[in-house]
Amino acid sequence: MSVTEYRDKFLQLAGYATCRGGRGRGKARKLLEGLNDELQYRSMNHTFPSFHQLVDRALFTERKRQEIEERKRKYNNSSSSSNTRPRFSRGPSSQQQRAQGQQGYRYRRCYRGQPGSSYVSGSVPSADHPSHHKPDYGCWALLQVQGNQRGQQSGQRQNPPRPQQGRPNQRGKPPWQGKLESAAEAPNVVLGTFPVNSHPATVLFDTGATHSFITKSYAEQYNIPIRSTSRPMVVSTPGGTLSTSLICPRVSINIRGVEFCTKLIIIGSAGIDIILGMETLAKWDVRIDCAKRTVHLTAPDGQKVEVSATEPSGCLHQMEAKPTEGIRVVCEYPDVFPEELPGMPPDREVEFLIELLPGTAPIAKRQYRVAPKEQELIKENIDELLGKGFIRPSSSPWAFPVLFVDKKDGSRRMCVDYRALNDVTIKNKYPLPRIDDLFDQLQGACVFSKIDLRSGYHQMKIRPSDIPKTAFITRFGLYEYTVMSFGLTNAPAYFMNLMNKVFMEYLDKFVVVFIDDILIYSKMEEEHEEHLRLVLQKLRDHKLYAKLSKCEFWLDQVPFLGHIVSKGGIIVDPSKISSVMDWKVPEVVKEVRGFLGLAGYYRRFIESFSRIAKPMTSLLEKGVPFIWTKERQAAFDELKKRLTTAPVLTLPDLTKSFTVYCDASKEGLGCVLMQEGKHEVNYPTHDAELAFVVHAMKIWRHYLFGNRCEIYTDHKSLKYIFTQNELNMRQRRWLELIKDYDWRYITIRGKLMW
Band (pLDDT 50/70/90 cuts) for residue 462 is: very high
Flag whether pLDDT at 487 surpasses 80. yes
For the ranges 179-188, 201-210, 502-511, 522-531, the lowest mean pLDDT is seen at 179-188
Flag whether pLDDT at 168 surpasses 60. no
For the ranges 158-162, 364-368, 643-647, the lowest mean pLDDT is seen at 158-162
For the ranges 120-134, 211-225, 317-331, 650-664, the lowest mean pLDDT is seen at 120-134
Q: What is the tens place of the pLDDT at every residue in 287-296?
A: 887 767 788 8
Average pLDDT over residues 117-134: 35
Q: What is the tens place of the pLDDT at every residue in 367-414?
A: 898 888 888 889 988 988 888 889 999 999 999 999 888 776 667 778
pLDDT for res 502: 92
* Distance from the Cα of residue 473 to its chain's centroid: 29
**Separation of alpha carbons 314 and 311, rounded Å:** 8
Region at 343 (left for phi over 0; alpha for psi -120 to 50; beta for the rest): left
**Separation of alpha carbons 687 and 710, rounded Å:** 19
Average pLDDT over residues 746-754: 59
Flag whether pLDDT at 46 surpasses 60. no
Average pLDDT over residues 16-32: 59
**Separation of alpha carbons 600 and 227, rounded Å:** 61
Band (pLDDT 50/70/90 cuts) for residue 518 is: very high
Band (pLDDT 50/70/90 cuts) for residue 232 is: confident
Is the sign of the CA dihedral 325, 328, 330, 332 positive or negative?
positive
Average pLDDT over residues 444-450: 88
**Separation of alpha carbons 22 and 292, rounded Å:** 22
**Separation of alpha carbons 589 and 609, rounded Å:** 19
Burial 97-135 (b: 16+ CB within 10 A, else e): eeebeebbbeeeebeeeebbbbbbbbbbbeeeeeebbbb
- What is the rounded average pLDDT for all residues in the chain? 73
Band (pLDDT 50/70/90 cuts) for residue 459 is: very high
Which amino acid type is present at position 274? I
pLDDT for res 397: 94
What is the CB-side half-sphere exposure of residue 245 using CA atoms within 13 A? 7
Band (pLDDT 50/70/90 cuts) for residue 39 is: low
Flag whether pLDDT at 612 surpasses 70. yes
Report the candidate in 380, 101, 98, 139 with the shortest Cα–Cα distance to residue 238.
139
Comparing 441 with 391, the larger pLDDT belongs to 391
pLDDT for res 737: 74
Comparing 515 with 716, the larger pLDDT belongs to 515
Band (pLDDT 50/70/90 cuts) for residue 538 is: very high
Which stretches of 139-211 are assigned E, i.e. beta strand?
A: 142-145, 189-196, 199-206
pLDDT for res 467: 94
Q: What is the tens place of the pLDDT at every residue in 95-111?
A: 444 444 443 333 333 33
Rounded (to 5) percent helix, strand, coil in the chain: 35, 25, 45
User: For a pLDDT cut of 90, what percent of the chain falls above it?
Assistant: 15
pLDDT for res 233: 82
pLDDT for res 47: 54
User: For a pLDDT cut of 70, what percent of the chain falls above it?
Assistant: 65
pLDDT for res 172: 39
pLDDT for res 409: 61
Is the sign of the CA dihedral 241, 242, 248, 253 positive or negative?
negative
Comparing 86 with 704, the larger pLDDT belongs to 704
pLDDT for res 503: 92
* Distance from the Cα of residue 519 to its chain's centroid: 19
Average pLDDT over residues 434-445: 79
Band (pLDDT 50/70/90 cuts) for residue 281 is: confident
pLDDT for res 131: 37
* DSSP states of 562-619: TEEEETTEEEE-TTTSHHHHTPPPP-SHHHHHHHHHHHHTTGGGSTTHHHHHHHHHGG
CB atoms under 10 Å from CB of 184, counted, come to: 23
pLDDT for res 358: 93
Flag whether pLDDT at 170 surpasses 50. no
Flag whether pLDDT at 726 surpasses 70. no
Give the 3-state secondary structure of residue 222. Answer: coil
pLDDT for res 72: 66
Q: What is the tens place of the pLDDT at every residue in 544-576?
A: 999 888 888 888 888 888 778 887 778 877 777
**Separation of alpha carbons 262 and 257, rounded Å:** 16
Flag whether pLDDT at 241 surpasses 80. no
Is the sign of the CA dihedral 391, 392, 393, 396 positive or negative?
negative
Average pLDDT over residues 468-486: 92
Comparing 430 with 69, the larger pLDDT belongs to 430
**Separation of alpha carbons 562 and 576, rounded Å:** 6
Band (pLDDT 50/70/90 cuts) for residue 463 is: very high
Is 361 exposed, middle or buried (CB count within 10 Å of its CB: 0-12, 13-18, 19+)?
exposed
Flag whether pLDDT at 452 surpasses 60. yes
Which amino acid type is present at position 717? S
Task: Name the pTM for this structure.
Answer: 0.48
Band (pLDDT 50/70/90 cuts) for residue 418 is: very high
384 and 476 Cβ atoms separated by less than 8 Å: no
